[in-house]
Amino acid sequence: MSVNVVMQASTCRSGLRFLKPIHSFSSQGACQLAAPQQNQNLDLPHRLHVSLEALERSRTSLHDFCISHFMFHGLDPSNHEHNFKYLPVLAFTEAYVYEVDVEYEKALKKMQDIHDPVNDVDPFYGLKLELAARNLWTDRMANELLKGCHYLKLEQSICRSGPEDQISILDARRALEFKSADYKLLNLLLYKMRGEEVNEFHFGFLELSNLLVELADNLSDYEEDVKDNSFNIVRVFYKVYGPKLGSQMLAEYISAVKLRFEEKLNKLEPELREKFPIRYQEELSRGKSIAEIWEVPPFIDETPYSALVSSK
């Protein structure tokens, strides 16, 4: 099956952003995260607070997650019993992430530094404590949260870099991969709630599919992200390689990811290989054709926007 048919990707999905990275994350993905302790200070706004706004903002991501991931757990997103059994925990978790996201956006707009806190309270501590109390917290989930925190630091570094600052393409690619940490966290939660071991092949396949969705979003949102000084992989390729070579190198990167995705798609179980493309057909947004989705946008001179950001 052609990846062009499969990847009629949704371009309205929001990725994960984190307020404060708590622990270090190595390039090999190893991490150390202490288990939640009952005596940690919880006098902070994020203790277990989830607003209606956060719930509303998380709806699109939750819908997309259920449509794309439930089938890999033998679940039907249109089945009310399946939804009501698992959605309370999934919805609370995603909304909690969005609640922290609101605070991060405020800090980023004010150009405030996002520090690696030594003595600060973990803004996700309440979420971890709640999941641990239900025997749902795992070290692997902690690792996904750390990847999301690492995305934040990479995003901050890239977005605040000046014309003379060097940016690593590898860091930008890692940031794009880490941006979907919330989906991986939700997927791990679903395995844990169902009492099943993680299917590593399915998990890796869905990681690639999420990466392609993020790529489609970045291509579509390039101009808007330039104006907002938001992280976008297109901006990085143009800054590192220049307008002409940057477009070519980005197209090669996208093709390589699509090829890896198609190889895994062809190895899926027949039922999943038949069902999964429907997700993208149903979630196609903004009225774009397949060719338009994967078209690398033309270079934008960021100089006027950089001056505007610097003056704030």
The tens digit of pLDDT for each residue in 286-308 reads 556 777 788 999 999 988 776 55
| pLDDT, tens digit, 9 for 90 and up, residues 205-230 | 999 999 998 999 999 999 999 998 88
How many domains does the chain divide into?
A: 1
Q: Mean pLDDT across the stretch 126-145? A: 92
Given a cut of 50, whether residue 247 has pLDDT beyond it is yes
Tell me the C-alpha to C-alpha distance, in Å, between residue 36 and each of 50, 98, 116, 132, 283.
19, 21, 18, 7, 38
Range of the domain at 50: 3-310
Distance CA(150)–CA(153), nearest Å, equals 5
Distance CA(137)–CA(280), nearest Å, equals 31
* Residue among 167, 308, 307, 286 nearest 219 (CA): 286
Whether this prediction's pTM lies above 0.85 is answered by no
Q: What angle do CA 67, 260, 149 make, to 5 degrees?
A: 65
Q: What pLDDT is stored for residue 100 in this prediction?
A: 79
* Residue among 175, 171, 117 nearest 147 (CA): 175
Q: What pLDDT is stored for residue 239 in this prediction?
A: 93
Output Rg (C-alpha) for the chain, integer angstroms: 19
Q: What pLDDT is stored for residue 105 in this prediction?
A: 65
Q: What pLDDT is stored for residue 238 in this prediction?
A: 95
